[in-house]
Amino acid sequence: MDSVTSSGPTSAPAVVGPWTKGLWQPEPVAADAWLSAGRHLLDGSFTWPLLTVDGGAVDHNVATMAAFAAEHGLLLAPHGKTSMAPGLFARQLAAGAWGMTVATGNQALAARSAGVRRLLLANQVLDDPVLRWLAGPGNADGEVVVQLDSAAGLARLADVADPARPVGVLLELGHAGGRTGLRHDDNVLDLATAARARAGVRLLGVTAYEGGLPGVPEVRSFLERLRDRAAALAGAGLIDADEVTVSVGGSAYFDVVAEVLGGRPVLGGLPARVLLRSGSTVTHDHGVYARRTPFTRVPGGLRPALRVWAQVTSCPEPGLAIVGAGKRDVPVDEGLPVPLRVHRAGAAPEPVAGWALTRTNDQHAYLEAAGPAPTPLSPGDLLELGVSHPCTAFDKWRVVPVVDADLRVTELLATLF
């Protein structure tokens, strides 16, 4: 497994203590000693709210995506910004991922410190310290591929690059109304020609993000354009490699990526290396990706792995329950959490029906009756909440317990936000 070292220095916390959100640990203790005590989610080792990861669901999701990639001739470079958890990086790399994707220089540095050797930096890099790292230690200690969409970005990279150890680059295509990326094909050819001529820069192919498009037809058309641009650059002799790299893929349309770019196509006379960046698939969710996953269109399925556990703290009026988890604890940008089950001492978990979470404050959420005969709730009840949008769940937690089907803790994930 040459994309990761055998044990990253930050794959798990070294010490937990009073500062560790969600753990009730008044005195510092080594994390491995804490784990060796055989913790259970409901044994008093935790305080609420708490984010957990279902280890079985993660294993299923990692295996599912590895099989999908293998079936369609794709390479996985999952986007690490979802979790910034080296423990999850290691699972994906062990299942055959080419490497990891990151979005910023700090994320690249953090992932490298955790032992990830191959990185795709899927963003425009204009920051001089990051550029110098990319051209120096980052490029010497492993492979870092970056993307470009401007002559200014090319010039800044070329100014610090080492001709003896060129940095691999991908030209980014964009679409009208999207974020970064070249809008016109003539601009792609011009920038490719300029990149091919600069010492210290090695043009590997093209990249794009299709997740902001409204539907399958628009995504298919955009990916066909991306494929055609890759073929044109390869055919013109502008690719400085024996294969052309195409990097794509949010978590909503990877089936269309497989349709248009799967099967290791030959583009412009070169075999294509297609890197799929889908990141939210590692944990999936109960919200935005539950609705948008390609597995609503093609066979297969992912399992939601994230839960936030929080108590009902007040029932101040009929039809209203206040829950002790808010914007500091749960994602709210792509949908609010979903109440799943209520846990009470001495009783089996009970599904929560007839309630909807409608708004949040910093540390509180408002659960309102939303149907006939809502499940009775009382202060002190422990709620199991499903979340929407994993990318804004992990960043609120520095340590995340992994639990098994019996809610026993098997691992502590450190996050590097």
- pLDDT tens, position by position, for the chain (417 residues)? 333 333 444 577 999 999 999 999 999 999 999 999 999 999 999 999 999 999 999 999 999 999 999 999 999 999 999 999 999 999 999 999 999 999 999 999 999 999 999 999 999 999 999 999 999 999 888 999 999 999 999 999 999 999 999 999 999 999 999 999 999 999 999 999 999 999 999 999 999 999 999 999 999 999 999 999 999 999 999 999 999 999 998 899 999 999 999 999 999 999 999 999 999 999 999 999 999 999 999 999 999 999 999 999 999 999 999 999 999 999 999 999 999 999 998 899 999 999 999 999 999 999 999 988 999 999 999 999 999 999 999 999 999 999 999 999 999 999 999
CA distance 140 to 27: 41
pLDDT of residue 371: 83
Measuring CA to CA, how many Å separate 409 from each of 37, 118, 168, 406? 10, 30, 41, 9
Cα three-residue angle 397-403-404, rounded to 5 degrees:
160
Q: SS3 for 233-277, per residue?
A: HHHCCCCCCCCEEEEECCCCCHHHHHHHHCCCCEECCEEEEEEEC
- Closest by CA to 120, choosing from 102, 137, 136, is 102
* CA angle in degrees (0–180, nearest 5) for 293-343-306: 25
- Backbone φ and ψ for 331, nearest 5 degrees, come out as -75, 140
Residue 10: predicted pLDDT: 55
C-alpha 343/C-alpha 42 separation (Å) is 10
